[in-house]
Amino acid sequence: MTLDQPRPIRIAIVDDQALVRTGFRMVLEAEVDFEVVGEGGDGAAAIDLARSTAIDVMLMDVRMPGIDGIAATAAVTAGEHPPHVIVLTTFDLDEYAFAAIRSGASGFLLKDVRPQELVSAIRTVHAGDAALAPRVTRRMIEMFADELPIADGAAPPTPSLLDTLTPREREILVAIAEGLNNTDLAARFHVSESTVKTHVGRILQKLDARDRVHLVIIAYEHRLIPPGTVGERR
């Protein structure tokens, strides 16, 4: 790496199937701005990797022997300088994947994801966004929120913290939970996209939220949007 080149995105792969890890590694090492810095076969290995290695993005299988991906995600994201975690699952809208997202993951991918989608998701979470559309997040919440407890360390903000939002910020939070992206938000509120980004940044900061997916969870848990209305509003 020369002085004018940015540092590569440092990635760890955690899956109990060696063949899966090898396949992902082959895809990732083909990218000039990626560096695979570690592998693990279970949750304990993931936790050790996060403690011992500088990692930007961790791919985490959710169903593993011993410490599973849910508990490992909670432990990894609770660290002092945590990596972004993308959970891997075999089934779309897997309740285990949702539990991992509530534990701190920035999104989820199916294990049969196309190589370019995997690459794009890693770059997305590394940039601080979420590799999961808010509309999909909300559908997952609708399906599983009554069944799954909030993970340790992932409790929603108190009502007093929500009270720090301005009326416009609260409106934007609700709109994000409805699934609107920045372009949609700009059109709804008749402002520029740069203004929307400023509002979203302030909301994230005030609510101590890790990304837009976390904002959807917060909005749902505080009943800012009514349950049972997925896809009804735009």
Report pLDDT digits (tens) over 14-73.
Answer: 999 999 999 999 999 999 999 999 999 999 999 999 999 999 999 999 889 999 999 999
Over 90: is that where the pLDDT of 76 sits? yes
Distance CA 44, CA 73 (A): 10
Q: CA-based diameter of the chain, in Å?
A: 53
Output the CA–CA distances (angstroms, integers) from residue 45 to 58, 122, 126, 206, in the order listed: 12, 20, 21, 33
Taking 3-state DSSP, the helix, strand and coil percentages for the chain, each rounded to the nearest 5, stand at: 45, 10, 40
CATH 3.40.50.2300 fits 9-144, yes or no: yes
Do 75 and 47 form a contact (C-beta atoms < 8 A)? yes
Over 50: is that where the pLDDT of 6 sits? yes
CATH 3.40.50.360 fits 159-221, yes or no: no
Output the CA–CA distances (angstroms, integers) from residue 163 to 167, 185, 217, 223, in the order listed: 9, 21, 17, 14
Distance CA 35, CA 209 (A): 27
User: Would you kindly state where each structural domain of the chain is located, as residue ranges?
Assistant: 9-144, 159-221
Over 60: is that where the pLDDT of 225 sits? yes
The overall pTM is greater than 0.85: no
Q: What pLDDT, in 10s, does the model give residues 151-167?
A: 444 555 566 788 899 99
